[in-house]
Structure 1
């Protein structure tokens, strides 16, 4: 049987200062984390330390350890690296075993009979990128850093939400594998289901030391076993599982997973074993043309889905620090917000098995980008061969996961070619089209024909339409954030919104940790350093000014209002687009998470704290959503029902004044079939007139109790004027402590009340975000991690919209 020995201990990192100084090194890890552990660099996440450590990415570094001598009677010993970041030479006692230049691949070297001093010499990724650029010529990109010339996590070089921390190191596990006769080199599982029978076809490649040895493989799935012979170095074994239970996205059913075990045999001697988990489900991407353009609808097990998605970036700029537990925690947060699709964005990495395992278990669909983002990528060597090799390896590596439902060729590069002035400057030079429309779809078709492939995001399906045409395929909506008001999300109904979002700063406690000792202001030095977007603060300010009077010198008020604006902006888009299902078939919010403490579009900040947007997503992505849509001939209440059951209940409409007076009301019948949207036109006499009036829509379904146990209730509010024009009363409310939280009772209209729990204690968390109360209403906010509860402290941590005059 193959014997595996992890190589995790005894590594050192040689400092390139000419003295030969050495430091203890962690493997897996990277140079930055080793230097941090040794106290030789400051934490780049704090203050403006990022600039102080820029030199690290421009140096060469060497990792060393002793490679032990082989033991036992195995015929071959391989040195296996699951990930090297990025450009390195591997040497044993000074003799080169090979050179590598791709972070996204694994590597294997024959070290049979060898031992001695193992060294991995990393060259600066900058040096490699600049050398390749010198060979293939300049290519345009969204950022000045040369990330498109090296197969490395692009956001290592900085992004509009990320620091420039260009890493190097042994970022994934390394081990010795000792084996005899043969080993399993690759297993390509094709998993299908038809008529209740699950089918697993395992295409097996083996590597041999003895060509003449007869080999068989035995597969076991769900208690069913099958065998097949290996013909030379290839074989295929097929297993049928009667009565296979279907794997469903969360919210649509359960997620049964089946263990697969494939054993390589020489006679009855087990030589090697491959184990994974799979799920049975059918999958289709419907891109058929219709009266509205070209659709983009995921269909799982015959069920057409409105995808409730978030974009995922690497959860740490040093990805070797992301543990299995951290992946699980972050993805559980996503599931807790009602998310059912996670898009792994193309400026990051193919994530570890821990990420996809968690998605399999939680029922989170995965849209996987190939790692290309926001640049023209050369197609010449040495890059072309690396791209195909990494694609072939990772497609097969991730195939077992039922959560994986889509391969996507790139992020914004087809759009960039057409709209960002790339085409004239390229003058016919390669820019990546051959990857997205040639190499990558060929690799997916040959290796993983069970999953759909799309050439890019955004992409209209062909060059016959503009790449970002909202009527065709996927659409990125960034004009709104960059140039207009979030109300403009309501001007169009794209077929699938794969990116859109609005910025806000991180939680207050996150800022206090990241900017120690700084007097916080929107334009204080640390705040500006942790704002990476082009004119980010200007866009935040202009976005606020369209709705609120700008807080003059009051950082706490600015912080609260920018959080409110972020949640409202995303709500404006999702409510509108969900109400137009099935024309629009999905929204993927930019973004779920952050890789460090920063002002960004994230719902969860760099310290893992949930912004108000996160709690708003819980409402927006619930199976049932009530919203008021201002159509051309008057407002309409849309009841979005993504549940499997019909929604029958009552709808109460109230036209109210901000002083609490009910001007008019009506009780109507609400009926929305399963997976449909029902619309109820607001009677003319209930339409608010002027800035002092608003509409309240409450929907009840008595069979579904709400959190207070008083009968199911959903609410939508429609204020026809911006807050700056609304004559709000000065908010009055009472605060009382209750077990594990507080209760707030409103005496006036209280709009967008928010408890910033981290102001109570950095470890405290609230169970809800923004809530609007009518006079006499109350809400209980659960709080955990608050060590010394006190109502006055709670009152100081409560914020709400206040009158401007």
Structure 2
């Protein structure tokens, strides 16, 4: 390289060594996520020391799914039918009946890793097993102490166990939960599933049937990591953002506090430097770690100038910083260990609102009106992936929500879930794994033990606290994590609660609010009686506006049946029969004839709401009308709460926004990631700047969730009859104060007059100074008798459809309705494979179930991952009064 000048040579060598270090770090950790074998432990007589020898023959062993469960492996090997389809779950032996031996399995993985010759250390990491296990490697038992508890991560130094030739075998025997519970139809079955430190939903709930193996298996990641003699563990980053900030403009400094545990695996003391670089500034500290010991190291606080802040969705950008924390021994031969950490600069605060008598959540000093969804788990059989997490969290962002609550009968969500929430700006309310149904809040004849006994579940309090501490360390660096919660609808036992609240959380986090249980008076004062949450069934839409509920409702929900495409994915042909509404009984309950498979998949009644559109003729008709109800329900729910922002409410969390299996209740999209109309109704009602119609008093209202005032806007309200005739109602300039609600004008008398005979369409648009649409809300209102008879007499409308591919995976669709037409009502768009007309999932629409007014043009952007597209694709379009068409989309 004699032809290079000295400066160029220097740059070349710096880049070369940077490349070298990057490649070393990139290879320092890898997953053992394929090539596993398994067998029921009864089929082998040898012990782990023998099975884990590479020479041991794996005759008759079958392919295993790891990460996964015994059930996912059995499904992969076609030993069981899909438990999410029809009544197939009833064909699978339940562990309570058949015994735990049936689901006790050996898992084996051969991998290559030579025994290091230098001071390098090799670690075996488990991120989750259920429920206990023994671990063997190359004839040696690795875990000298019991390895039990679904939520515990474990790391083992396996350096001395590795073979010189690099041919290694890992063997793990996994035992089911100590208590599997009787799935007797109760919430959590007979409740004894809660005696473990693990999932409670697996014995069944009112939204799911029992998971037959209780999720036994190596359910989360297994990985190999290589470090030097010093390893970095559980780094912790705290960001302090003093004052009241705005998303834009110049920012005052923020404080970054960083710490980590350093473990010395050698038999001699090691000195060196723990450091990271941020914004071209190096922050470091010299330390000495004694032989065979672990110390906690806090680096000097760093003042970050002009920080780019992280905000929840719809309030600002979700900027994320990344640092590379590394330890360099004093001899500077090489980096001993490094860890790349992503974080957002933000601070979470909470205050008590004396007007609503509930907790307010603030980010960077700004109050956030909470619009949330309850989350169970991504997949009931624990088949997690970054791609699925990304899709589900994106759906929540697209619904204009800003918070997800992780329900306490499941788990502390995985880092990949939190990474998606960081990207999309969803705050997270994280429960610990405890629920009032199993843990003794209520007397319940289906439970085996009495309330006093269940109140002390789980059996091993130490394991609960150890697991809680470990999970806190796992996710505490995520900007999206906003709140900790002791349990679902119940506090933990006193000793667990005290340790969590007063010791563990202050020591390991100390930056987030902890509420003792999900509907606690400390979060939302219960002045109404009852449990402090709900209701859970379908409601008249005006009740969300007129009936005051709890001021920060942790659970309020409704229906959620998918459309015809969704239903056919899991309903056998012989069960594709819609429910038949039979009226109301003397005690006020709904009478309905429901197919057994619908009942098994936890259908809840729509009552008379569907019949208001006319009695369903068949399943297709029922599913289409259900979407009208879904859209109206969830829009009204969020509009009603928003109409009383800071007056009655500081937030609400919908029960629930998703299902981890093929349930029919409480979902904005189905298990297969196909949205129903509820998603788009909620998206409309949750707009951060929103114009809306109050069905109780007829007022046109506006809500502004932004931190800034909005001036020089025009509100335009028009009505349309069933023939498409336009009736201008008002057109007025207006403005909005920050984070406020405003009543504009009552149009109740005129709307009642126009809608009396056939019902009415109502268009409410809010325009900006450049005449761009800031909010576009469209209602269909019933006639005087409360029915939607007029919709059944709508003339057919023909839309002009134009499609244009504007980037890889993104299509822009323009719908134009001729001015001579009536309203083209409630149009569902889908991207489908041209050959079989099946929908491509997941696909994301910036609007759907759209109505197009006479003479109007609507534009919808649709995106899906290119890898999901196989062959030619088409746009499918069908509306209430628009015939179904397929339009080719050019690549």
Tell me the TM-score range normalised by the shorter chain: 0.7 to 0.9
What is the rounded CA distance, in whole Å, between the counterparts of 1:96 and 1:299 in structure 2?
Answer: 46
Shift of 1:479: 5.3
- 1:512 aligned to 2:555? no
What is the rounded CA distance, in whole Å, between the counterparts of 1:602 and 1:680 in structure 2?
Answer: 33
SS in 2 for 1:230: strand
Look up the match of 1:458: 519
- 1:79 aligned to 2:136? no
Look up the match of 1:13: 38
Look up the match of 1:801: none
- After TM superposition, the structure 1 = structure 2 runs for residues 679-690 of structure 1, keeping only pairs within 5 Å, are 679-682=743-746, 685-686=749-750, 688-689=752-753
Aligned length: 757
What is the rounded CA distance, in whole Å, between the counterparts of 2:508 and 2:741 in structure 1?
Answer: 39
- After TM superposition, the structure 1 = structure 2 runs for residues 481-630 of structure 1, keeping only pairs within 5 Å, are 481=538, 485-490=540-545, 491-492=547-548, 494-518=550-574, 520-522=576-578, 528-529=596-597, 531-532=599-600, 536-537=603-604, 539-544=605-610, 547-551=612-616, 554-583=618-647, 584-630=649-695
Does the 8 Å contact 1:129/1:149 carry over to 2?
no
In 2 relative to 1, CA 243–56 (structure 1 residues): closer, same or farther, beyond 3 Å?
same
What is the rounded CA distance, in whole Å, between the counterparts of 1:728 and 1:791 in structure 2?
Answer: 19
Which residue of 139, 151, 156 maps to 1:109?
156
Greater shift, 151-160 or 446-455, is seen at 151-160
SS in 2 for 1:327: helix
SS in 2 for 1:253: coil
- After TM superposition, the structure 1 = structure 2 runs for residues 420-431 of structure 1, keeping only pairs within 5 Å, are none
Shift of 1:305: 1.2
Look up the match of 1:120: 172
- 1:761 aligned to 2:837? yes
In 2 relative to 1, CA 687–509 (structure 1 residues): closer, same or farther, beyond 3 Å?
closer
Shift of 1:493: 5.1
What is the rounded CA distance, in whole Å, between the counterparts of 2:788 and 2:267 in structure 1?
Answer: 82
Greater shift, 379-388 or 66-75, is seen at 66-75
Which residue of 83, 87, 93 maps to 1:48?
87
Superimposed CA distance per residue, residues 568-601 of structure 1 (whole angstroms, 9 cap, x where no aligned partner)? 1222221111011123222322333222233121
Greater shift, 234-243 or 598-607, is seen at 234-243
- 1:164 aligned to 2:206? no
What is the rounded CA distance, in whole Å, between the counterparts of 1:717 and 1:9 in structure 2?
Answer: 53
In 2 relative to 1, CA 762–245 (structure 1 residues): closer, same or farther, beyond 3 Å?
same
Look up the match of 2:866: none
Shift of 1:453: 1.4
Greater shift, 620-629 or 645-654, is seen at 645-654
Shift of 1:442: 3.5
Does the 8 Å contact 1:500/1:590 carry over to 2?
yes
Which residue of 70, 89, 105 maps to 1:61?
105
In 2 relative to 1, CA 381–354 (structure 1 residues): closer, same or farther, beyond 3 Å?
closer
Which residue of 365, 377, 381 maps to 2:427?
365
SS in 2 for 1:615: helix
Superimposed CA distance per residue, residues 216-236 of structure 1 (whole angstroms, 9 cap, x where no aligned partner)? 322323322122233652321
In 2 relative to 1, CA 283–309 (structure 1 residues): closer, same or farther, beyond 3 Å?
same
Shift of 1:310: 2.0
Shift of 1:407: 1.4
Does the 8 Å contact 2:829/2:849 carry over to 1?
no
> Cα RMSD between the aligned structures?
3.8
In 2 relative to 1, CA 146–403 (structure 1 residues): closer, same or farther, beyond 3 Å?
same
Does the 8 Å contact 1:48/1:526 carry over to 2?
no
SS in 2 for 1:304: strand
Which residue of 172, 175, 194 maps to 1:148?
194
SS in 2 for 1:356: helix
Structure 2 gap segments, 5+ residues each: 1-23, 46-59, 163-167, 244-251, 290-294, 440-453, 581-592, 804-812, 864-868, 886-891
Which residue of 694, 703, 706 maps to 2:769?
703
- 1:33 aligned to 2:33? no
In 2 relative to 1, CA 381–492 (structure 1 residues): closer, same or farther, beyond 3 Å?
closer
Superimposed CA distance per residue, residues 152-210 of structure 1 (whole angstroms, 9 cap, x where no aligned partner)? 23333333333422222212222344555332233232222347223222232222233
Look up the match of 2:365: 302
Shift of 1:249: 1.7
Which residue of 323, 329, 340 maps to 2:402?
340
SS in 2 for 1:296: strand
Does the 8 Å contact 2:131/2:149 carry over to 1?
yes
Look up the match of 1:448: 509
SS in 2 for 1:318: coil
- 1:218 aligned to 2:284? no
Greater shift, 434-443 or 345-354, is seen at 434-443
Look up the match of 2:584: none
TM-score after normalising by structure 2: 0.76
Which residue of 418, 432, 436 maps to 2:493?
432
Which residue of 478, 482, 487 maps to 1:401?
478
What is the rounded CA distance, in whole Å, between the counterparts of 1:544 and 1:723 in structure 2?
Answer: 12
TM-score after normalising by structure 1: 0.84
In 2 relative to 1, CA 141–316 (structure 1 residues): closer, same or farther, beyond 3 Å?
closer
In 2 relative to 1, CA 201–652 (structure 1 residues): closer, same or farther, beyond 3 Å?
closer
Which residue of 345, 354, 358 maps to 1:280?
345
What is the rounded CA distance, in whole Å, between the counterparts of 2:639 and 2:317 in structure 1?
Answer: 27
Does the 8 Å contact 2:536/2:556 carry over to 1?
no
Shift of 1:516: 4.7
SS in 2 for 1:446: helix
What is the rounded CA distance, in whole Å, between the counterparts of 2:763 and 2:878 in structure 1?
Answer: 33
Which residue of 174, 190, 201 maps to 2:257?
201
What is the rounded CA distance, in whole Å, between the counterparts of 2:601 and 2:624 in structure 1?
Answer: 20
What is the rounded CA distance, in whole Å, between the counterparts of 2:116 and 2:728 in structure 1?
Answer: 86
Shift of 1:645: 4.1
In 2 relative to 1, CA 788–350 (structure 1 residues): closer, same or farther, beyond 3 Å?
closer
SS in 2 for 1:371: coil
What is the rounded CA distance, in whole Å, between the counterparts of 1:256 and 1:38 in structure 2?
Answer: 43
Superimposed CA distance per residue, residues 737-784 of structure 1 (whole angstroms, 9 cap, x where no aligned partner)? 422355555878659624364899321667643445666767677788
What is the rounded CA distance, in whole Å, between the counterparts of 1:790 and 1:564 in structure 2?
Answer: 19
SS in 2 for 1:264: strand
In 2 relative to 1, CA 572–488 (structure 1 residues): closer, same or farther, beyond 3 Å?
same
In 2 relative to 1, CA 726–796 (structure 1 residues): closer, same or farther, beyond 3 Å?
closer
Look up the match of 2:50: none
Does the 8 Å contact 2:828/2:878 carry over to 1?
no
Shift of 1:347: 2.4
What is the rounded CA distance, in whole Å, between the counterparts of 2:494 and 2:609 in structure 1?
Answer: 36
In 2 relative to 1, CA 655–515 (structure 1 residues): closer, same or farther, beyond 3 Å?
closer
What is the rounded CA distance, in whole Å, between the counterparts of 2:825 and 2:502 in structure 1?
Answer: 47
Structure 1 gap segments, 5+ residues each: 415-430, 799-805
What is the rounded CA distance, in whole Å, between the counterparts of 1:722 and 1:215 in structure 2?
Answer: 80
Does the 8 Å contact 2:796/2:882 carry over to 1?
no
What is the rounded CA distance, in whole Å, between the counterparts of 2:399 and 2:458 in structure 1?
Answer: 44
- 1:324 aligned to 2:386? yes
- 1:184 aligned to 2:232? yes
Greater shift, 484-493 or 518-527, is seen at 518-527
SS in 2 for 1:734: coil
What is the rounded CA distance, in whole Å, between the counterparts of 2:29 and 2:416 in structure 1?
Answer: 20
Superimposed CA distance per residue, residues 613-657 of structure 1 (whole angstroms, 9 cap, x where no aligned partner)? 1112221122221222245xx432211122334143333455776
Shift of 1:237: 0.5
In 2 relative to 1, CA 655–746 (structure 1 residues): closer, same or farther, beyond 3 Å?
closer
Does the 8 Å contact 2:689/2:775 carry over to 1?
no
